[in-house]
Structure 1
Amino acid sequence: MHRKNRKFSRTKGKTKSPTIKTSKKTSLSNERKLFDKYKKDLGEDYLLNDIIELAYPKIQTTIDVLVSSKPSDVLKDLHIFLLDIIHTGLNKKSILCSFLGIEDDDFIIDELYLLIKEGLVDLDDENDYRLTTKGELFLENQKFIPETSNEEFVFYVDGLTKEITTEQVSKTFCQNKLTNLVNVNHEFIQENWFNINSIFSKVNKEEKEIIELSNYKRSIVRKPNVVYEKIYALIYYPKEEAGKKIQIKAYNKSLKLLKKTTNSLNEQFSKNPLLFDFSEEGQILNEFKDIIEKSRELNQSKDRLTGNYKDISTFEHKELISDALITATSKVYIESPWIRRATSNYIKAMEVFLNKENTKLYIAYGIDSSFRNKPHEETFEKIKKLQNRFPDKLKIYHLPTHFSSKFNDRSGTHRKILIKDNEFYIKGSFNWLSYAGEKGRNYAVEEGTQFFDNVEIFWSKIFKEYQLEF
C-alpha cells in the first residue's frame, strides 16, 4: 500500500517556490484535518493507516439537444391575442393587417403561421382563418406554445460510479490517477436519457426540457474528455486482521464524505488490491508518512487475536447463540446495543445454562441512555426474573451507566459479541439481543466471524477494557 505521492522541489541553497510551498502546506493541512477527525471513525477495531490523494476520473461530456422551453410573456400574450381576435371575427389576413396596422410580411404574421402549424388555427376554402377545437381550448385555458431551440448541454460522468452531475470539477495535477472504467458513447447517453433530461431540467429551474437529441449521430459534439478531480482516500486496516477487510472512505477537497465514491472504491479494491499502488509515480511524502507511522506504533494491538476462524452468514447466528447457551459448561458473554423482543427466543436456553453447576452468564448492553433505546419492557422483565433466581450467576451490565463511572469518553456500545467458554468467540454486525434472524422475512445482511483460537485472551481483553469483574 502506498501513500499519497506528490513531487516537491528541494534544491539546496535556493528559495522555494511560493506556489509549491503553499500547495504543500494546504495538502498537509487537509490530510492532518482528515487524520485527526476520522482516525477512530471505524472504532477501536480499525486503524487509519493511509491517507492518499487521488486523481479521480470525471468524463466531461457535451451533447447537442433539441430543447423545449417556455416562451417569453410577450410571445405568449401575442398568441392569445391573435386567437382572440380571430375568434371575434377578424378572420382574413388583409383585415388583420389593416386592424393591426402592419404589412403582410410582419413577424406577427409569422406567428400566425405558427398557430396554423400547431393546429390551433385552420384555413377554410375561402382562406378565412378559423379556430380549431384545439385552438378554442387553448384560448380558454390561456396556454402557451413551447419554444424549441438547439442547445449544447455539458455534464460530467463519474468514471467509476457512472453518476451524472453538472458540478464543476476541481481539477488536480496529482499523478495518482485512478483508471476510468466508463465509456461515454451514444449507447450510454440513451441508457441514461431520463436521468440526463431530469438533470437538465433542474439546472434550468424546470423551465426547459430536452425533447430529443438534435442529431443522433452527432449528438456528442466533442469527444468526451477525461478530467481528474482531487479526492482523498482514507484507508483503515483491521487491528485483528483475521476475518476482516480493509475499509476505505473517500472525501473531497472540502473534506465532505463521498458516499457513492466510498462504496465504489471498496468494491474496486476488493477486486484489485493494487488499486492504490502508485509507487512509480513519484516519491512518498515523508512528513505525513511519519504521522501515520507514529500513530500505528501507538495504537497497534499488542495481542493480535488471529488464528482459525470462519465467516458466519446472517441466519447462522440464531442457531449459534442458542447452541452456545445450551451446550456451554462454564461461561457465556453476550454484548449487543439493544435488548428487544427477539431476546425472548433465548430465555429458555439461558435458564438451561444457568441451571448447570458453576456457570456464569454475562449480558452487556446499551448504545446510550436515551429513552428510545431502553430495553423492551416485557422481555427485560423475564431477564430480571432469571437474575433474581440466579443472582450470583447472571450479571447484567447497562454499559452507558457502567461507563459513566469508569470513563470520561464512553457513552455505550455498538459492538456485537458472543463468547462461549474458551471454545470460540464471534464478532460482527449481528444484533444478538434485538434481531430475530429468521428466514422468509425482509432482513438486513448482518454477518460475522467465528474465532476458535486465543479465546481466553479475548475474555481478558474485553473485561480489562471495560473494567468488568469475572
Structure 2
Amino acid sequence: MEIQEIHQKLEKQCASDYRINEIILFAYPFRRVRINATVNKSPEKSIQQIYSVLLKTILEGYTKEDDLIKFLGLHKEDFILRELYFLRERGFADLTSGNWIVTDQGKDFIKDNSILKILEEEEFEFLFDTVSNEIVLKEFRLNSQKDIENKLSSEFDFEHKSPEILNDKNEQLSDIYKRQNNGKAYLVDYDKSKILFDKKECNDYYLIEYIPRKGKENELEPFIEVRNFDKEITLEKRITKVLSKKYPAILYQFSNSERTALAEIEEDDYEVLDEFQTSVTPQTNISTTETLSVWETQAKFEEALKTVTNKILIESPWIKKATLNYIQSIENALGKGIAVIILYGIESNDEHHFGTIEKLRSLERKYSKSFHLIHLPTHFQNKNNYQMTGTHRKLVIKDDEYYIQGSFNFLSFNKKEGQKIANEESILINNKVIDKWKTVIKEYELDDKILDGKQKYGG
C-alpha cells in the first residue's frame, strides 16, 4: 500500500484536533529463538475418557485385574495394565493385596478430567524483542524488506545462542508458553545453556506521528502509533507502547525532516551573536569577524573539515543523519593524526540519530587517541556537575586559525540550497582563537591532555 493511501485511510480515523504529520515504514528487530522445554500437558480427551472409565469400573467393584479385563472385553496383552500402573504412578489409583482401589485424587479426576497433567519434552519457539528486552509470542510470520532504509537499532544484543538472552525470563517464558497453548499446558523447566536455534530477524511496521492542528498546539501533545504492515493497517499496541516511551527521540532515527522545535532560531542564539560582535577587539587593518549566511556557514564548515591541519572542535546539540555527510572528511582528518573533538547533547531535548552515533563510536574505537566523542549530559554527571545539563551552543574551532559560532546546527542541519529553511546566521572570528580553546577546555572540565604535543594551543 502506498504512503498516500495509508494517509487517506488513517486521516479519516484521526481525531478532529489532530493531523498526521509523518508516516515512516521501518523494520523492527527481533531474534527468533528455539529451546528444549519440559512442559506439563493435559492428555488427549480420548485417553482421559479411558482413564475415567477404568476408575469408574474399579469403583463399581471390579477390583481384580482379571475381572477388569473381562468386564471391559480386553486381553492381558492390551494396554490396560500399562494404563492402570500409569494411574497408580500419578496417585489416582492404588493396588492393595491384589485389589485395585481408587484414591481421593482419582475420584476428583472422575469429576474433572483436566486435573491430570503429563510431563513431556518438546521444542518451544518464541521471539525476543531486542528493543524492549521482552519475550514475545510468535503469533505472526516475520517479514521484512531487505532494502528497507529505516531499521531500528537493537538495544539488547548478545552473542549467538548466548544464555544471557534468557536471563530473568522465567516468568515471561511461562506466560508466553501458557498463552500459546490456551492455558492447557504449562512450562515447567528449560535448559537455557542449550539454545537450539537463534536468528536475528526483523518485521516491518509503519510509524505514524500525529500532531495537534493549528491553534491546538498549547492544549494537546503530539503522539505516535505503530501500525501493522497489513491490509487494514491495524494498530500494533505492544510496540506502540514500547516506542511511545522513546518518542520523540525515536522519530529522529528515521526522519530527515527538520522538526519545528529544532529549526527555530531561539533568542539566546541572537544574544550569543551580539556578545561576540561586541566583545572582540578589532586589530588595525585586520578583519577579526565575518558574518556568514546559512549556506556560507555550511560551506565554511565543510571546508574546515577538509583543510584542518592540527585540531578541530565541533559543538552541536544534536547529531542527526546530516552528520553522515561529514563522516568521510572526519575520518580523513583522523587518518592524518588530526585531533577531532565532538561535544553534543542537551538533557531536555537529547534526540539523536543513533545509527549515526554508532558510526561515530566506531571511528572513536578505531582512532581512540585522537577522536573524542563526548556526550555532555553524561560527561557532566560523571564530573558531578549538576549545574550543566548539556549544550545549546553551536561552535566550531579550527586549528588556531578561527572559530565559528551562531545559530547554525552543524551536525543536524540537513537542507540543500533552494529548499525552505529558517534563517540562520553565524559569526566567524579569527581573533583570540587560542583563548577560545582554553575557555572551552576549562568550561567543560575536559582533560587538558585531550590535545597532545603539536595539538596543544599555539602548536
Using the size of structure 2 for normalisation, the TM-score is: 0.45
TM-score scaled by length of structure 1: 0.44
